[in-house]
Amino acid sequence: MLQKRIDDQTSISRESLREAQERFHQHLKRVGLKVTEQRDTILLTFLETHEHLSTEQLHQLVRKRDARIGFTTVYRTLKLLAECGLASEVAFHDGIARYEHQHNRRSHHHMVCTQCGGSVEFFSSEVDRLEQEIGRKHHYLTTRHTFQIYGLCEDCRKSGPRVI
């Protein structure tokens, strides 16, 4: 089971929610789509989570607020959130795309157990500095990166045969 995310703040403030909503609305206008109540419900539900969510998991949470919102709407809205930088896709070993919100979060990284699927988030200023250094070397203005380490967690190493 995937662990909850590490956040600098335990909850998102009203001001931060408004900022994210405005960013999302601007993106929708830029790509020629309408601002809808359903999209806003999905955004707010997503931003209030502290987990790596699959589309199906987010859909289940959204339906608690509005049972009329379909899976396809959630799927398409997640893609829009990723396009405007409010979400990022996190790929773990099981092949299921999961998303985490990126609004006002500092850069972090993941360690993923290849046996149980558990994950740990960690911060590393060294990896962040390396991103900037590589960007300068190749004449890029870097905006983000992903960094994941795969291995076996302590519990899985103690419990039995190694699966890599």
Domains of the chain: total: 2
Q: Which of 102, 118, 145 is the last residue of a domain?
A: 102
Crossing angle of helices 71-83 and 55-65, rounded to 10°: 110
> What range defines the domain where residue 137 resides?
106-164
pTM: 0.68
Per-residue pLDDT of the chain (164 residues; tens, 9 = 90+): 444 444 545 567 788 889 999 999 999 999 999 999 999 999 999 998 877 889 999 999 999 999 999 999 999 999 999 999 888 887 666 677 888 877 555 567 778 788 887 777 777 788 888 889 999 999 998 877 777 788 888 888 888 765 55
| Residues shown for the chain | 164
Spatial neighbors of 94 by CB under 8 A, at least 6 apart, are 117
Residue 160: alpha-carbon gap to chain centroid: 31
Question: 3 in a domain, yes or no?
Answer: no
Statement to judge: residues 126 and 162 lie in one domain = yes
CB 14 within 8 A of CB 131: no
